[in-house]
Structure 1
Amino acid sequence: MRFGLIHYTFPPVVGGVEFVALGQAVQFAEHGHPVRMIGGAGRSDHPGVECRVLAELGPDWPRFQAAARELASGRAGSAFKAYQAELESTLRREIADLDAVLAHNVMTMHFNPALTAALWNLAQETASQTAWYFWAHDLVLAHPDYPRPDVRRHPWSLYARVHPTAHYVTISEFRRRQLSKELRIPPSQIRLVPDGIDARAHLEADPEVWRLFLEESLADQDLVLLFPTRVVRRKNLALAVHVTGSLKRLGKKAKLLITGAPDAHNPSSVAYFEEVRELIRRENLQAEVLFVADRFRVGFRQLCALYRLADALIMTSRQEGFGLPLLEAGVHHAAVICPRVAPFTDILGSDGIFFPPNEKPERIARRILRAFDSHGLQGARRHFKRVLREYSWVRIWEKHLSTLALRPRSWQILPAKTGSAELLNTGENDASNSNGDPKNGKHPDGRPPMEGSPARRARRRAGRAQLRTRPASRR
């Protein structure tokens, strides 16, 4: 399938919708579906993602400005109609070869009403060959920063009407309830697809680290322990293995990631490595204890990414001259589990999860679990893992976007009938599906507009200008 994404702007313009739209585009492209992003600004460096910048969509376009002035006077007249017709002609060519179009925010926000009207018509005109999805991140009808438009008049009526052939998508249950109320349709007719995040980019994880994260389901673990060490006897790897086994017996899902490999030139290192391997086999912990070096070479970048994915650093060394990993853990906000010995106590003060040097593995495991609960570490880590598990683009693709790409008709929930399905090309009053009295330009609680990126502020200024209509009593 060929997908089109439409929004006012795309990255490198900074904005939440911009990031989400690009994330969706990349997912479609990476799974073999070419994408065309269509907006007033943007750029794409991703294979399979084309960015079409149309000056006609920007606030500097002469017809945009003429239409805005006309709307500010209270009506959609000849300037608005000319601009809408121009957009329809341009966009008709841009979407001609697309199988599906995702219109982000442009059908529920007021920054370019002529664009809303043009897409409304095109979605109806091309419904037999192109699937349309109106993606609602924000709603002008329920937005605290803007006066509510008079939905009895065109084009504002479009924001309160259900399109006869398009399908509505929102980003949260809260937004779904809002849109359901404003459009007067059941929530079940609105699909929910949460925003995603490029977790790999935020974690700066190299491909091999990210592959490990996915293959080992690290986001599903109760505890991920990192032991960055060479395989030598004084590091006491066996104790870390036994602690991991105790966590497993206590009903916890745990992984121990050991970064180092044996020194091939040191017979004692190789012998100790085999001892630890045998212990892992004997305790049936092959799935819980991983030698990362078996999969890839752990350099500085990979080590940093592993720290960011781990819940805690564990060090079970019998003795150390300093303990550099404790500093690394501090930089990465990782908890530290280690014996209460110098120099660890000198570095950590009272901020480690300490255990007596000769304590039994099960007692250490229980100590770790108590410490995580009492220190409040679990809540933050649970949220971290929930984000990775539910909101990374990998998960959004698997749970949502893949079905749109592979079975698009499974997404299509027919909207409720709303009467006439004629194309919209007039500026006449339209009271269909009106929801309440207009606020006539007054904000309900008097709050000032929120600040944002320059592009977002420009869109807001344009939107406010186009919402300055005459009071209903004067029309």
Structure 2
Amino acid sequence: LEADLLMLQPCRLHPRKNIELSIRVIKALQDKGLYARLLLTGAHDPHEKNSIEYYYELKKLSEQLHVERDILILEEYFSEGGKDLKGGSIIVRDFYLIADLLFIPSLQEGFGIPLLEAGMLKVPIVCSDIPSFKEIGKENVQYFSLTDSPDEIADKILAFISKLNSHKIFHHIIQNYMWDNIYHKMLLPLLEKVSERHPHFHSKHASDTYSNP
């Protein structure tokens, strides 16, 4: 998970989540010299044709933009066939702790629960300026318009994080001093429990991913 900027998008793979924009923003950030990566925690629905097609569209787009190694879809490491895991909320909460910011470009949302979760854990938030997000975030988050280009959004992200001194020291400590402790004391035991409960869990793949980002 090593990166200059790790963006977390905790959502299912659904068109209204606007994940294609997230991928394009990752590319724009990299073009500006920042090694950014995107972590997607949700799965696609294997029983819904649109969800399956959307998943493959996202994979194709990331390959076309040459960022496929930097779009990390959690289900590819933890399950097969879009199958949800028990205790998934615990896993997502742990990833909030190592994310540099929450990125939510949704086209529409009934209620922005991820904004509440990120706020409670003091994770910086960058999101679309839809009404439900503005109701929660008020003036405490960085908004962008859905009409903004990926390049414009990338500029807003860079300007936003440059002002976050607390974010800089937190990221430095996590990356350089605490990752081994987090992995061995928190994530590894959790992954082992998931592996015991779910025979399709890719334990070796996941272990390699977390121990050698």
Q: Partner residue of 1:167?
A: none
Once the two structures are superposed, the pairs formed by residues 64-213 of structure 1 within 5 Å of their partners are none
Q: Partner residue of 1:333?
A: 122
Q: Count matched residues.
A: 174
Does residue 258 (structure 1) correspond to residue 44 (structure 2)? The answer is no
Structure-1 separation of matches of 2:175 and 2:119: 25
Does residue 239 (structure 1) correspond to residue 21 (structure 2)? The answer is yes
Does residue 284 (structure 1) correspond to residue 66 (structure 2)? The answer is yes
Structure-2 separation of matches of 1:393 and 1:234: 33
SS of residue paired to 1:391: helix
Q: Partner residue of 1:319?
A: 108
Q: CA deviation at 1:273?
A: 0.6
Q: CA deviation at 1:357?
A: 1.5
Label 1:245 to 1:393 Cα distance change in 2 as closer, same or farther (>3 A). closer
**Aligned residues with identical type, % of pairs:** 32
The TM-score with structure 1 as length reference comes to: 0.35
Does residue 226 (structure 1) correspond to residue 8 (structure 2)? The answer is yes
Gaps of 5+ in 2: 79-84, 182-213
1:353 to 122, 138, 142: 142
Matched-pair contact (CA < 8 Å) for 2:45–2:52: yes
Give the counterpart letter for 1:272 in structure 2: Y
Q: CA deviation at 1:394?
A: 4.0
Q: CA deviation at 1:222?
A: 2.0
Give the counterpart letter for 2:60 in structure 1: E
Structure-2 separation of matches of 1:324 and 1:358: 23
1:383 to 150, 154, 169: 169
SS of residue paired to 1:334: coil
Q: CA deviation at 1:390?
A: 3.1
The structure with higher relative contact order (CA 8 Å, sep 6+) is 2
CA-to-aligned-CA distance 1:112-153 (integer Å, 9 cap, x gap): xxxxxxxxxxxxxxxxxxxxxxxxxxxxxxxxxxxxxxxxxx
Whose helix fraction is larger, Structure 1's or Structure 2's? 2
Asked which structure has the greater CA Rg, the reply is: 1
Q: Partner residue of 1:113?
A: none
The TM-score with structure 2 as length reference comes to: 0.77
Matched-pair contact (CA < 8 Å) for 2:100–2:171: no
Structure-2 separation of matches of 1:259 and 1:371: 24
Q: CA deviation at 1:386?
A: 2.4
Q: CA deviation at 1:248?
A: 0.5
Structure-2 separation of matches of 1:277 and 1:392: 32
RMSD: 1.6
SS of residue paired to 2:126: strand
Q: CA deviation at 1:339?
A: 1.2
Q: CA deviation at 1:393?
A: 7.8
SS of residue paired to 1:350: coil
Give the counterpart letter for 2:167 in structure 1: R
Q: CA deviation at 1:322?
A: 1.2
Structure-2 separation of matches of 1:371 and 1:248: 16
SS of residue paired to 1:287: helix
Matched-pair contact (CA < 8 Å) for 2:98–2:174: no
SS of residue paired to 1:343: helix
Label 1:393 to 1:340 Cα distance change in 2 as closer, same or farther (>3 A). closer
Once the two structures are superposed, the pairs formed by residues 54-65 of structure 1 within 5 Å of their partners are none
Give the counterpart letter for 1:278 in structure 2: K
SS of residue paired to 2:146: coil
CA-to-aligned-CA distance 1:220-245 (integer Å, 9 cap, x gap): x2211100111111111100100011
Q: CA deviation at 1:344?
A: 0.7
